[in-house]
Amino acid sequence: MDPNEQRVRAARRPAAWPWLAPALLLLGAFYLVPILDVLRLAFGDATLLRPASSYGLDGVRDILAQPALPGVLRVTAIFTAASVLGILALGLLVALLVVRGEARRLAGMGVLRTVVLTAWVVPGIANGLIWQMLFSEAPFGALNSTLGVVGIAPVRWLSDPTNAMISAVIANVWQGTAFAMIVLYAARKGLSDDLYAAAAIDGAGPIARFIFITLPQMRPAILVTTILVTIQTLNTFDVILALTGGGPGRTTEVLSLFTFNTVFNNFDLSGGSVLAILLVLIALVLTIIYIRVLVDHPDRRQ
């Protein structure tokens, strides 16, 4: 064989493993080993202060039988469902508006995209603190004093349980919309104009085009966005920690915050590990359900 060709082949085919080793070792040490360890911890009775002395299912049963847990799961379900719906709806709305603005060459539509994205880079803790100032129940609080200008009585944004949940969802949606917008915007840009042109010839109006072309064509992107946003929301707790601290009472204490409190305030390492596994399992089950609903559905219809 020509030596040059040999060299090219050698360059094209470097042994893969040495190149992968640093990344895989790091991921192994910081992901794989901890995950396995969490599984082990879950069945022990370790606390943050001392290692496990015995293993068994008693600890698992104890933590799952905690009276607070059903309430926490309900709060998690409401917070996650409302956030995901809000983020998807607003993300899709902004994405489609920006695409339309670009298609019609409307000046200034980029501002919308930039403003939405700006909220995205605000750290979660700062997000919670900023909204805490906005939702301040003092007469000079941002929202309440604005409502006062138009003659509406002050709202108990954070001290009323229902309102506190709404407030937490608003803060989370404000920040989370950007991610959904980018993914859905990319997906919408990827759709061919031919479908829309054909639909226009058939006389389909904007609503018909949205329902019969945009939504079905964007199904895969909506699926991916839904999964990622759900997992992100399930894992979110810094916004809530800074905004309400889980209160009033436990009415905004989501599972991730509950897990955090169990481990780092009550020092119950095993209990926290059980809850952490529960968190991962919920994410996994929801992902499988989404894939079934959004992917299998069209095949079954055919």
69-88 residues in contact with another protein (CB under 8 A) are none
What does the radius of gyration of the chain's CA atoms come to, in whole angstroms? Answer: 25
142 is written with which tokens?
Answer: 């941002």
Q: Name which position in 129, 155, 199, 213 contacts another protein (CB under 8 A).
A: 129
Q: Name which position in 23, 65, 153, 207 contacts another protein (CB under 8 A).
A: 23
160 is written with which tokens?
Answer: 């009323």
Binders of another protein among 226-255, rule CB under 8 A? 231, 234-235, 237-238, 241-242
Query: Is residue 301 close enough to count as binding another protein by CB under 8 A?
Result: no
Run of H or E residues at 33: helix 33-42
Ramachandran angles phi, psi of 202, nearest 5°: -75, 0
- Tell the smallest beta-carbon distance from residue 24 to another protein (Å): 7
Which residue's CB is nearer to another protein, number 59 or number 124? 124
Q: Look at the chain and count its residues.
A: 302
Binders of another protein among 139-198, rule CB under 8 A? 139-142, 144-146, 148-149, 174, 177, 182-183, 185-187, 190
Q: What does the buried/exposed string (b/e) look like for 190-225 if buried means 16 or more CB atoms within 10 Å of the residue's CB? A: eeeeeebeebeeeebeeeebeeebbeebbeebbbeb
Binders of another protein among 89-108, rule CB under 8 A? 90, 93-94, 97, 100-101, 104, 106
C-beta atoms surrounding 32 within 10 Å: 11
Query: Is residue 7 close enough to count as binding another protein by CB under 8 A?
Result: yes
- Tell the smallest beta-carbon distance from residue 162 to another protein (Å): 21
Q: Name which position in 95, 214, 229, 260 contacts another protein (CB under 8 A).
A: 260
For the chain, report the end-to-end CA distance as a whole number of angstroms: 54
Q: Name which position in 130, 158, 222, 254 contacts another protein (CB under 8 A).
A: 130
Which residue's CB is nearer to another protein, number 20 or number 302? 20
Whether the CB-CB separation of 237 and 127 falls below 8 Å is answered with no
